[in-house]
Homo-oligomer: A and B are copies of this chain.
Amino acid sequence: MKNAVGREIPDFLEGYGQIKPFKGAFATIPTIRKYAPKVKITAPGASKLVDSLEAVFKKIPIQNGMTLSFHHHHRDGERLMGQVLAVAEKLGLKDLGLSVTGGPFPFHEFLIDYMKSGIITSLVTSGIYGSVAKAVSQGVLAKPTILHTHGGRPRKVQAGELQVDVTFIAAPSADENGNLTGAVGPSACGSLGYSFADAEYAGTVVAVTDNIVPFPLTRISIPQTQVDYVVKVEQCGDPNGIVSGTTRKTTDPAKLEMAETCANVIKASGLLKEGFSFQTGAGGPSLAAAHFVSEMMQKDQIQGSFCAGGIHAYLVEMLEMGLFKAAFDVQSFDLQTVESMAKNPNHIEISADFYANPFNNGCIVHQLDTVILGATEVDVDFNVNVVSGSNGVIMGGSGGHSDTAAGAKMTIIATNLTRGGKYPIVMDQVTTVTTPGESIDVVVTEVGVAVNPRNEELKRRLQDAGLPVKDIQELKKIAEDTVGVPGKPRQDGRIVGVVEYRDGTVIDVVREV
Protein backbone atom coordinates (compact mmCIF):
# COMPACT_ATOMS: atom_id res chain seq x y z
CA MET A 1 0.00 0.00 0.00
CA LYS A 2 0.99 3.64 -0.39
CA ASN A 3 1.07 5.86 2.68
CA ALA A 4 0.26 9.58 2.85
CA VAL A 5 3.71 10.59 1.59
CA GLY A 6 3.39 8.19 -1.35
CA ARG A 7 5.75 5.52 -0.05
CA GLU A 8 5.11 1.92 -0.95
CA ILE A 9 5.05 -0.12 2.25
CA PRO A 10 3.87 -3.65 2.98
CA ASP A 11 0.79 -4.40 5.10
CA PHE A 12 2.73 -6.87 7.16
CA LEU A 13 6.40 -7.34 7.77
CA GLU A 14 8.01 -10.45 9.23
CA GLY A 15 9.74 -9.59 12.49
CA TYR A 16 7.75 -6.39 12.83
CA GLY A 17 4.10 -7.32 12.41
CA GLN A 18 1.13 -5.44 11.01
CA ILE A 19 2.06 -2.06 9.58
CA LYS A 20 -0.06 1.03 10.18
CA PRO A 21 0.58 3.40 7.29
CA PHE A 22 1.42 7.05 7.89
CA LYS A 23 -1.72 9.10 7.31
CA GLY A 24 -0.64 12.65 8.06
CA ALA A 25 1.07 14.41 10.94
CA PHE A 26 -1.98 14.53 13.18
CA ALA A 27 -4.29 12.09 11.42
CA THR A 28 -3.84 9.08 13.68
CA ILE A 29 -5.69 9.36 16.98
CA PRO A 30 -4.98 6.88 19.79
CA THR A 31 -7.85 4.73 20.99
CA ILE A 32 -5.90 2.45 23.29
CA ARG A 33 -5.05 2.17 26.94
CA LYS A 34 -1.54 2.35 28.30
CA TYR A 35 0.54 -0.74 28.80
CA ALA A 36 0.15 -2.03 32.34
CA PRO A 37 3.50 -2.72 33.96
CA LYS A 38 3.54 -5.12 36.85
CA VAL A 39 2.99 -3.87 40.39
CA LYS A 40 6.29 -4.21 42.21
CA ILE A 41 7.37 -4.48 45.81
CA THR A 42 10.62 -4.02 47.67
CA ALA A 43 10.50 -5.31 51.22
CA PRO A 44 11.52 -2.79 53.88
CA GLY A 45 15.11 -3.30 54.83
CA ALA A 46 15.89 -5.15 51.60
CA SER A 47 19.08 -3.91 50.03
CA LYS A 48 19.09 -2.90 46.38
CA LEU A 49 22.84 -2.81 46.17
CA VAL A 50 24.32 -5.46 43.92
CA ASP A 51 28.07 -6.00 43.64
CA SER A 52 28.43 -6.41 39.93
CA LEU A 53 26.59 -6.43 36.64
CA GLU A 54 27.07 -10.17 36.47
CA ALA A 55 25.40 -10.58 39.84
CA VAL A 56 22.43 -8.52 38.72
CA PHE A 57 22.09 -10.64 35.56
CA LYS A 58 21.78 -13.69 37.78
CA LYS A 59 19.46 -12.09 40.31
CA ILE A 60 16.86 -10.94 37.79
CA PRO A 61 17.65 -13.36 35.98
CA ILE A 62 18.27 -12.11 32.45
CA GLN A 63 17.34 -14.80 29.95
CA ASN A 64 17.59 -15.48 26.24
CA GLY A 65 15.11 -13.45 24.23
CA MET A 66 14.76 -10.56 26.64
CA THR A 67 14.86 -6.93 25.57
CA LEU A 68 17.42 -4.74 27.31
CA SER A 69 17.39 -0.97 27.07
CA PHE A 70 19.95 1.81 27.32
CA HIS A 71 19.86 5.57 26.97
CA HIS A 72 22.05 8.06 25.23
CA HIS A 73 22.40 10.79 27.84
CA HIS A 74 26.18 10.36 27.96
CA ARG A 75 26.31 10.66 24.16
CA ASP A 76 29.87 9.79 23.04
CA GLY A 77 30.64 9.02 26.66
CA GLU A 78 28.17 6.11 26.77
CA ARG A 79 30.03 3.29 28.55
CA LEU A 80 27.28 1.01 29.80
CA MET A 81 26.26 -1.03 26.75
CA GLY A 82 29.74 -2.48 26.38
CA GLN A 83 29.97 -3.48 30.04
CA VAL A 84 26.51 -5.04 30.11
CA LEU A 85 26.78 -6.91 26.84
CA ALA A 86 30.16 -8.32 27.80
CA VAL A 87 28.36 -9.97 30.72
CA ALA A 88 25.64 -11.26 28.40
CA GLU A 89 28.33 -12.77 26.22
CA LYS A 90 30.15 -14.28 29.17
CA LEU A 91 26.93 -15.87 30.41
CA GLY A 92 26.22 -17.29 26.96
CA LEU A 93 23.01 -15.36 26.42
CA LYS A 94 21.48 -15.20 22.95
CA ASP A 95 18.70 -13.49 21.04
CA LEU A 96 18.62 -10.29 23.09
CA GLY A 97 16.64 -7.31 21.88
CA LEU A 98 18.51 -4.03 22.14
CA SER A 99 16.62 -0.80 22.64
CA VAL A 100 18.59 2.42 22.80
CA THR A 101 17.02 5.85 22.91
CA GLY A 102 19.76 7.12 20.57
CA GLY A 103 22.62 5.39 18.78
CA PRO A 104 24.51 3.12 18.46
CA PHE A 105 27.18 5.72 17.67
CA PRO A 106 30.38 5.19 15.68
CA PHE A 107 32.34 4.13 18.79
CA HIS A 108 29.80 1.35 19.37
CA GLU A 109 31.33 -0.63 16.51
CA PHE A 110 31.84 -3.58 18.88
CA LEU A 111 28.09 -4.19 18.74
CA ILE A 112 28.44 -5.60 15.23
CA ASP A 113 30.13 -8.71 16.60
CA TYR A 114 27.29 -9.21 19.09
CA MET A 115 24.86 -8.93 16.19
CA LYS A 116 26.80 -11.35 14.03
CA SER A 117 27.02 -13.91 16.82
CA GLY A 118 23.30 -13.75 17.59
CA ILE A 119 23.67 -12.24 21.04
CA ILE A 120 21.77 -9.20 19.76
CA THR A 121 19.05 -10.02 17.26
CA SER A 122 16.98 -6.83 17.15
CA LEU A 123 17.46 -3.12 17.46
CA VAL A 124 15.03 -0.31 18.28
CA THR A 125 16.42 3.22 18.31
CA SER A 126 15.97 6.86 17.27
CA GLY A 127 19.03 6.79 15.01
CA ILE A 128 22.08 4.73 14.10
CA TYR A 129 25.47 6.13 13.17
CA GLY A 130 28.77 4.89 11.78
CA SER A 131 29.66 1.32 11.08
CA VAL A 132 26.76 -0.19 13.03
CA ALA A 133 24.40 1.74 10.76
CA LYS A 134 26.22 0.38 7.75
CA ALA A 135 26.10 -3.17 9.10
CA VAL A 136 22.35 -2.86 9.73
CA SER A 137 21.90 -1.60 6.17
CA GLN A 138 23.82 -4.59 4.98
CA GLY A 139 21.45 -6.87 6.79
CA VAL A 140 23.39 -7.98 9.86
CA LEU A 141 20.10 -8.41 11.74
CA ALA A 142 17.40 -10.77 10.55
CA LYS A 143 14.66 -8.62 12.08
CA PRO A 144 14.05 -5.15 10.73
CA THR A 145 15.43 -2.37 12.88
CA ILE A 146 12.84 0.05 14.18
CA LEU A 147 13.70 3.73 13.90
CA HIS A 148 11.43 5.84 16.09
CA THR A 149 11.42 9.49 17.04
CA HIS A 150 12.32 10.91 20.45
CA GLY A 151 8.64 11.47 21.16
CA GLY A 152 7.74 8.14 19.61
CA ARG A 153 9.96 6.33 22.09
CA PRO A 154 7.92 7.03 25.26
CA ARG A 155 4.75 6.62 23.18
CA LYS A 156 5.88 3.12 22.12
CA VAL A 157 6.67 2.22 25.72
CA GLN A 158 3.39 3.57 27.03
CA ALA A 159 1.51 1.73 24.29
CA GLY A 160 3.26 -1.54 25.08
CA GLU A 161 4.65 -1.72 21.54
CA LEU A 162 8.10 -1.77 23.07
CA GLN A 163 8.25 -3.92 26.18
CA VAL A 164 11.59 -3.56 27.89
CA ASP A 165 12.41 -6.46 30.18
CA VAL A 166 15.40 -4.88 31.85
CA THR A 167 16.54 -1.29 31.58
CA PHE A 168 20.04 -0.24 32.54
CA ILE A 169 20.20 3.40 33.53
CA ALA A 170 23.60 5.04 33.73
CA ALA A 171 23.14 7.18 36.83
CA PRO A 172 25.87 9.72 37.63
CA SER A 173 24.62 9.82 41.22
CA ALA A 174 22.53 7.33 43.14
CA ASP A 175 21.77 6.55 46.73
CA GLU A 176 21.49 3.01 48.03
CA ASN A 177 17.70 3.06 47.70
CA GLY A 178 17.81 3.98 44.04
CA ASN A 179 17.12 7.69 43.96
CA LEU A 180 18.97 8.83 40.84
CA THR A 181 20.17 11.95 39.12
CA GLY A 182 22.45 12.98 36.29
CA ALA A 183 22.83 16.50 37.63
CA VAL A 184 25.82 15.81 39.84
CA GLY A 185 28.64 13.32 40.25
CA PRO A 186 31.93 12.62 38.48
CA SER A 187 30.05 11.37 35.40
CA ALA A 188 27.39 14.09 35.54
CA CYS A 189 25.51 14.33 32.25
CA GLY A 190 22.61 16.65 33.12
CA SER A 191 19.17 15.49 32.09
CA LEU A 192 18.19 11.82 32.36
CA GLY A 193 15.03 12.60 30.37
CA TYR A 194 15.37 9.70 27.94
CA SER A 195 15.39 7.11 30.73
CA PHE A 196 12.21 8.22 32.48
CA ALA A 197 9.79 6.09 30.45
CA ASP A 198 11.84 2.94 31.04
CA ALA A 199 12.13 3.67 34.76
CA GLU A 200 8.34 3.71 34.82
CA TYR A 201 7.56 0.78 32.52
CA ALA A 202 10.46 -1.69 32.32
CA GLY A 203 10.07 -5.08 33.96
CA THR A 204 13.22 -4.50 36.00
CA VAL A 205 15.06 -1.22 36.51
CA VAL A 206 18.80 -1.42 37.14
CA ALA A 207 20.61 1.78 38.05
CA VAL A 208 24.31 1.63 37.30
CA THR A 209 26.41 4.27 38.98
CA ASP A 210 29.99 5.20 39.82
CA ASN A 211 28.88 7.52 42.60
CA ILE A 212 26.84 6.25 45.50
CA VAL A 213 25.90 9.13 47.77
CA PRO A 214 24.59 8.86 51.34
CA PHE A 215 20.85 8.40 51.51
CA PRO A 216 18.88 10.41 50.67
CA LEU A 217 20.00 11.96 47.43
CA THR A 218 18.19 15.32 47.55
CA ARG A 219 18.24 16.11 43.85
CA ILE A 220 16.01 13.31 42.55
CA SER A 221 15.42 12.81 38.83
CA ILE A 222 14.23 9.21 39.03
CA PRO A 223 12.76 8.11 42.38
CA GLN A 224 13.57 5.01 44.40
CA THR A 225 9.99 3.85 43.93
CA GLN A 226 10.89 2.79 40.38
CA VAL A 227 14.35 1.27 40.82
CA ASP A 228 14.93 -2.43 41.59
CA TYR A 229 18.71 -2.61 41.80
CA VAL A 230 21.70 -0.31 42.22
CA VAL A 231 25.01 -1.53 40.83
CA LYS A 232 28.30 0.24 41.42
CA VAL A 233 30.82 0.18 38.58
CA GLU A 234 34.05 2.02 37.99
CA GLN A 235 32.58 4.31 35.37
CA CYS A 236 28.96 4.52 34.24
CA GLY A 237 29.71 7.11 31.57
CA ASP A 238 32.54 9.33 30.44
CA PRO A 239 31.79 13.01 30.92
CA ASN A 240 34.48 13.80 28.36
CA GLY A 241 32.18 12.25 25.78
CA ILE A 242 29.66 14.97 26.50
CA VAL A 243 31.08 17.68 24.32
CA SER A 244 32.62 20.54 26.18
CA GLY A 245 30.59 23.60 25.40
CA THR A 246 31.92 25.76 22.66
CA THR A 247 29.76 28.79 22.12
CA ARG A 248 31.93 30.20 19.40
CA LYS A 249 30.00 31.16 16.33
CA THR A 250 31.22 29.64 13.08
CA THR A 251 33.50 31.84 11.00
CA ASP A 252 32.64 30.11 7.71
CA PRO A 253 31.07 32.96 5.72
CA ALA A 254 28.65 30.66 3.84
CA LYS A 255 27.32 29.18 7.08
CA LEU A 256 27.15 32.58 8.69
CA GLU A 257 25.11 33.88 5.81
CA MET A 258 22.72 30.96 5.98
CA ALA A 259 22.40 31.44 9.73
CA GLU A 260 21.62 35.10 9.26
CA THR A 261 18.98 34.18 6.69
CA CYS A 262 17.38 31.79 9.22
CA ALA A 263 17.27 34.58 11.78
CA ASN A 264 15.80 36.96 9.23
CA VAL A 265 13.17 34.38 8.32
CA ILE A 266 12.21 34.14 11.99
CA LYS A 267 12.03 37.90 12.28
CA ALA A 268 10.01 38.28 9.08
CA SER A 269 7.61 35.50 10.13
CA GLY A 270 6.22 37.69 12.90
CA LEU A 271 6.92 35.03 15.51
CA LEU A 272 9.81 36.87 17.15
CA LYS A 273 7.84 38.69 19.80
CA GLU A 274 7.19 38.54 23.54
CA GLY A 275 6.78 34.91 24.56
CA PHE A 276 8.84 33.56 21.65
CA SER A 277 9.84 29.90 21.94
CA PHE A 278 12.70 28.30 20.11
CA GLN A 279 14.60 25.11 19.51
CA THR A 280 17.82 24.70 17.65
CA GLY A 281 20.74 22.34 17.65
CA ALA A 282 24.36 23.24 18.26
CA GLY A 283 25.67 22.04 14.91
CA GLY A 284 25.87 23.52 11.44
CA PRO A 285 24.43 26.98 11.04
CA SER A 286 22.06 26.47 14.00
CA LEU A 287 24.33 27.90 16.68
CA ALA A 288 25.13 30.93 14.55
CA ALA A 289 21.40 31.38 13.91
CA ALA A 290 20.82 31.35 17.67
CA HIS A 291 23.43 34.10 17.94
CA PHE A 292 21.58 36.27 15.44
CA VAL A 293 18.23 35.57 17.08
CA SER A 294 19.72 36.43 20.47
CA GLU A 295 20.96 39.75 19.15
CA MET A 296 17.55 40.55 17.70
CA MET A 297 15.86 39.69 20.99
CA GLN A 298 18.28 41.85 22.95
CA LYS A 299 17.89 44.74 20.53
CA ASP A 300 14.09 44.61 20.58
CA GLN A 301 13.97 43.75 24.29
CA ILE A 302 11.95 40.61 23.68
CA GLN A 303 11.60 38.08 26.47
CA GLY A 304 10.92 34.66 25.08
CA SER A 305 9.04 31.98 26.99
CA PHE A 306 11.22 28.91 26.56
CA CYS A 307 13.80 26.99 24.62
CA ALA A 308 13.60 23.22 24.53
CA GLY A 309 15.17 19.99 23.41
CA GLY A 310 18.76 19.08 23.55
CA ILE A 311 20.03 22.12 25.41
CA HIS A 312 23.48 23.53 24.65
CA ALA A 313 25.69 26.22 26.09
CA TYR A 314 24.45 28.96 23.85
CA LEU A 315 20.82 28.43 24.87
CA VAL A 316 22.02 28.38 28.48
CA GLU A 317 23.59 31.78 27.92
CA MET A 318 20.34 33.08 26.45
CA LEU A 319 18.50 31.71 29.48
CA GLU A 320 20.95 33.41 31.79
CA MET A 321 20.54 36.68 29.89
CA GLY A 322 16.83 36.43 30.61
CA LEU A 323 15.93 35.96 26.93
CA PHE A 324 13.98 32.86 27.92
CA LYS A 325 12.04 32.19 31.12
CA ALA A 326 12.81 28.48 30.99
CA ALA A 327 14.94 25.87 29.27
CA PHE A 328 13.24 22.47 29.01
CA ASP A 329 16.08 19.99 28.91
CA VAL A 330 15.57 16.42 27.72
CA GLN A 331 19.29 16.05 27.08
CA SER A 332 22.25 18.20 28.00
CA PHE A 333 24.63 18.68 25.10
CA ASP A 334 27.73 19.96 26.89
CA LEU A 335 29.28 20.44 30.28
CA GLN A 336 28.19 24.06 30.64
CA THR A 337 24.63 22.86 30.18
CA VAL A 338 25.12 20.07 32.73
CA GLU A 339 26.30 22.65 35.22
CA SER A 340 23.41 24.98 34.46
CA MET A 341 20.79 22.28 35.00
CA ALA A 342 22.29 21.51 38.39
CA LYS A 343 22.08 25.08 39.63
CA ASN A 344 19.43 27.04 37.71
CA PRO A 345 15.84 26.31 38.75
CA ASN A 346 14.60 27.67 35.42
CA HIS A 347 16.64 25.02 33.63
CA ILE A 348 14.15 22.19 33.89
CA GLU A 349 14.85 18.51 33.38
CA ILE A 350 12.02 16.94 31.37
CA SER A 351 11.18 13.44 30.21
CA ALA A 352 11.06 12.52 26.52
CA ASP A 353 7.31 12.20 27.12
CA PHE A 354 7.07 15.81 28.22
CA TYR A 355 9.41 16.79 25.40
CA ALA A 356 7.80 15.24 22.39
CA ASN A 357 5.29 12.42 22.92
CA PRO A 358 2.37 13.13 20.56
CA PHE A 359 -0.01 11.09 22.70
CA ASN A 360 -0.32 12.82 26.03
CA ASN A 361 -2.01 16.03 27.18
CA GLY A 362 0.47 18.20 25.34
CA CYS A 363 4.20 17.86 24.89
CA ILE A 364 6.46 20.90 24.85
CA VAL A 365 7.38 20.71 21.16
CA HIS A 366 3.72 21.41 20.41
CA GLN A 367 4.27 24.82 21.98
CA LEU A 368 7.32 25.74 19.90
CA ASP A 369 7.15 28.82 17.75
CA THR A 370 10.06 27.79 15.63
CA VAL A 371 12.72 25.15 15.21
CA ILE A 372 15.76 25.11 12.95
CA LEU A 373 16.60 21.63 11.66
CA GLY A 374 19.03 20.06 9.23
CA ALA A 375 18.50 17.63 6.37
CA THR A 376 20.37 14.99 4.42
CA GLU A 377 17.90 15.42 1.59
CA VAL A 378 14.83 17.58 0.96
CA ASP A 379 12.48 16.99 -1.89
CA VAL A 380 10.19 19.21 -3.89
CA ASP A 381 7.28 18.15 -1.66
CA PHE A 382 9.35 19.39 1.31
CA ASN A 383 9.73 15.85 2.65
CA VAL A 384 12.98 15.54 4.59
CA ASN A 385 15.36 12.63 4.94
CA VAL A 386 17.70 12.42 7.92
CA VAL A 387 17.74 8.60 8.08
CA SER A 388 19.78 7.51 5.10
CA GLY A 389 22.36 8.81 2.67
CA SER A 390 21.49 9.14 -0.99
CA ASN A 391 23.02 5.68 -1.44
CA GLY A 392 20.28 4.27 0.79
CA VAL A 393 22.65 3.42 3.65
CA ILE A 394 21.42 4.32 7.12
CA MET A 395 23.45 7.13 8.67
CA GLY A 396 21.17 8.71 11.24
CA GLY A 397 17.57 8.84 12.29
CA SER A 398 14.83 11.25 13.18
CA GLY A 399 15.70 11.93 16.78
CA GLY A 400 13.46 14.90 17.48
CA HIS A 401 13.30 15.97 13.84
CA SER A 402 9.74 15.04 12.98
CA ASP A 403 8.53 15.72 16.54
CA THR A 404 9.65 19.33 16.54
CA ALA A 405 8.74 19.82 12.88
CA ALA A 406 5.19 18.67 13.62
CA GLY A 407 4.91 20.79 16.73
CA ALA A 408 6.51 24.10 15.78
CA LYS A 409 4.46 26.86 14.23
CA MET A 410 7.31 27.36 11.77
CA THR A 411 9.88 24.70 10.90
CA ILE A 412 13.00 25.84 9.13
CA ILE A 413 15.30 23.42 7.33
CA ALA A 414 18.74 24.99 7.00
CA THR A 415 20.90 23.18 4.49
CA ASN A 416 23.43 23.63 1.76
CA LEU A 417 22.06 22.97 -1.67
CA THR A 418 24.64 20.26 -2.28
CA ARG A 419 26.86 18.04 -0.18
CA GLY A 420 30.59 18.39 -0.73
CA GLY A 421 29.89 19.86 -4.15
CA LYS A 422 29.04 16.33 -5.29
CA TYR A 423 25.49 15.38 -4.34
CA PRO A 424 22.32 17.42 -4.54
CA ILE A 425 20.43 17.86 -1.27
CA VAL A 426 17.29 19.35 -2.82
CA MET A 427 15.81 16.78 -5.18
CA ASP A 428 12.69 15.25 -6.70
CA GLN A 429 12.16 12.55 -4.11
CA VAL A 430 14.14 11.92 -0.96
CA THR A 431 15.60 8.45 -0.56
CA THR A 432 13.86 7.91 2.78
CA VAL A 433 11.10 10.09 4.20
CA THR A 434 11.74 10.93 7.85
CA THR A 435 9.64 14.05 8.25
CA PRO A 436 6.65 14.75 6.01
CA GLY A 437 6.63 17.87 3.87
CA GLU A 438 3.46 19.07 5.57
CA SER A 439 5.55 19.78 8.70
CA ILE A 440 8.16 21.86 6.89
CA ASP A 441 7.58 25.57 6.31
CA VAL A 442 10.83 26.93 4.93
CA VAL A 443 13.99 25.55 3.37
CA VAL A 444 16.90 27.94 3.78
CA THR A 445 19.89 27.39 1.48
CA GLU A 446 22.89 29.43 0.45
CA VAL A 447 21.20 30.48 -2.79
CA GLY A 448 17.68 31.16 -1.63
CA VAL A 449 14.73 30.35 0.57
CA ALA A 450 11.82 28.12 -0.47
CA VAL A 451 8.50 28.35 1.34
CA ASN A 452 6.06 25.48 1.47
CA PRO A 453 3.04 26.46 -0.68
CA ARG A 454 0.84 25.36 2.26
CA ASN A 455 2.02 28.51 4.02
CA GLU A 456 1.12 31.33 1.60
CA GLU A 457 1.10 33.98 4.29
CA LEU A 458 4.63 33.15 5.36
CA LYS A 459 5.79 33.34 1.78
CA ARG A 460 4.33 36.83 1.45
CA ARG A 461 5.93 37.95 4.70
CA LEU A 462 9.35 36.70 3.62
CA GLN A 463 8.99 38.35 0.23
CA ASP A 464 7.91 41.61 1.87
CA ALA A 465 11.00 41.43 4.08
CA GLY A 466 13.18 41.20 0.98
CA LEU A 467 14.34 37.64 1.59
CA PRO A 468 15.51 35.71 -1.50
CA VAL A 469 12.36 33.58 -1.86
CA LYS A 470 12.56 30.99 -4.63
CA ASP A 471 10.39 28.10 -5.70
CA ILE A 472 11.59 24.73 -4.35
CA GLN A 473 11.73 23.48 -7.97
CA GLU A 474 14.13 26.30 -8.70
CA LEU A 475 16.38 25.27 -5.80
CA LYS A 476 16.27 21.71 -7.06
CA LYS A 477 17.27 22.84 -10.54
CA ILE A 478 20.22 24.86 -9.24
CA ALA A 479 21.36 21.88 -7.18
CA GLU A 480 21.09 19.49 -10.12
CA ASP A 481 22.72 21.95 -12.49
CA THR A 482 25.64 22.16 -10.08
CA VAL A 483 26.26 18.48 -9.34
CA GLY A 484 24.03 16.49 -11.68
CA VAL A 485 21.35 13.93 -10.85
CA PRO A 486 22.77 10.88 -9.10
CA GLY A 487 21.27 7.46 -9.64
CA LYS A 488 18.84 6.18 -7.03
CA PRO A 489 19.77 3.21 -4.86
CA ARG A 490 18.03 -0.06 -5.75
CA GLN A 491 14.82 -0.54 -3.84
CA ASP A 492 14.41 -4.28 -4.12
CA GLY A 493 16.40 -5.50 -1.14
CA ARG A 494 14.95 -6.99 2.02
CA ILE A 495 13.51 -4.40 4.41
CA VAL A 496 16.13 -3.83 7.12
CA GLY A 497 14.68 -0.69 8.67
CA VAL A 498 11.21 0.58 9.48
CA VAL A 499 10.97 4.34 9.85
CA GLU A 500 8.18 5.00 12.29
CA TYR A 501 6.56 8.36 12.45
CA ARG A 502 6.10 9.73 15.97
CA ASP A 503 2.56 8.32 16.18
CA GLY A 504 3.73 4.77 15.41
CA THR A 505 2.59 4.68 11.80
CA VAL A 506 5.18 3.80 9.19
CA ILE A 507 6.38 6.69 7.07
CA ASP A 508 9.01 4.74 5.13
CA VAL A 509 11.17 1.65 5.07
CA VAL A 510 14.88 1.17 4.45
CA ARG A 511 16.08 -1.73 2.31
CA GLU A 512 19.20 -3.85 2.42
CA VAL A 513 22.05 -2.53 0.30
Interface flags, A313-351, vs B, CB<8A=1, else 0: 000000000000110100000000000000001101010
Known: A225-B354, A353-B225. A40 touches B216 (CB 8 A): no
Docked CA distance A31–B39 (Å)? 7
Q: A34-B36, A225-B354 are in contact. List 8 more A-B contacts (CB 8 A).
A: A26-B43, A33-B37, A40-B360, A42-B361, A44-B367, A177-B362, A215-B367, A225-B357
- By a CB distance below 8 angstroms, the chain B residues around A470 are none
Docked CA distance A224–B328 (Å)? 13
- By a CB distance below 8 angstroms, the chain B residues around A177 are 362, 367
Residue in B33, B39, B205, B360 whose CB lies within 8 Å of A41:
B360
Interface flags, A46-57, vs B, CB<8A=1, else 0: 101000000000
Interface flags, A191-226, vs B, CB<8A=1, else 0: 000000000000001000000001110111001111
- By a CB distance below 8 angstroms, the chain B residues around A360 are 39-42, 225-226
Known: A32-B39, A159-B39. A218 touches B359 (CB 8 A): no
Residue in B216, B227, B325, B406 whose CB lies within 8 Å of A218:
B325
Q: B36, A361: Cβ atoms under 8 Å?
A: no
Query: Can you list the 3 inter-chain pairs with the closest CB atoms, starting with the nearest?
Result: A44-B366, A33-B36, A225-B360
Is A407 on the interface with B (CB-CB < 8 A)?
A: yes
Is A306 on the interface with B (CB-CB < 8 A)?
A: yes
Complex interface residues of chain A between 176 and 190 (CB less than 8 A to chain B): 177-178
- By a CB distance below 8 angstroms, the chain B residues around A441 are none
- By a CB distance below 8 angstroms, the chain B residues around A377 are none
Is A82 on the interface with B (CB-CB < 8 A)?
A: no
Is A392 on the interface with B (CB-CB < 8 A)?
A: no
CB A430 to nearest CB in B, in angstroms, measures: 24
Q: A359, B214: Cβ atoms under 8 Å?
A: no
Closest residue of chain B to A344 (Cβ to Cβ) is B218
Integer count of this chain's copies in the complex: 2
Contact sample, A vs B, 16 pairs, CB 8 Å cutoff? A32-B38, A33-B37, A40-B360, A40-B361, A42-B360, A44-B366, A46-B362, A177-B367, A178-B361, A178-B362, A216-B305, A216-B326, A218-B325, A220-B348, A225-B354, A225-B361
Is A275 on the interface with B (CB-CB < 8 A)?
A: yes
The tally of residues in A whose CB lies under 8 Å from a CB in B reads 61
- By a CB distance below 8 angstroms, the chain B residues around A493 are none
Q: A363, B225: Cβ atoms under 8 Å?
A: yes
Docked CA distance A326–B209 (Å)? 22
Interface flags, A155-184, vs B, CB<8A=1, else 0: 000110000000000000000011000000
Closest residue of chain B to A308 (Cβ to Cβ) is B216
Closest residue of chain B to A29 (Cβ to Cβ) is B41
Is A489 on the interface with B (CB-CB < 8 A)?
A: no
Residue in B38, B39, B225, B361 whose CB lies within 8 Å of A362:
B225
CB A460 to nearest CB in B, in angstroms, measures: 21
Is A127 on the interface with B (CB-CB < 8 A)?
A: no
Complex interface residues of chain A between 383 and 427 (CB less than 8 A to chain B): 406-407
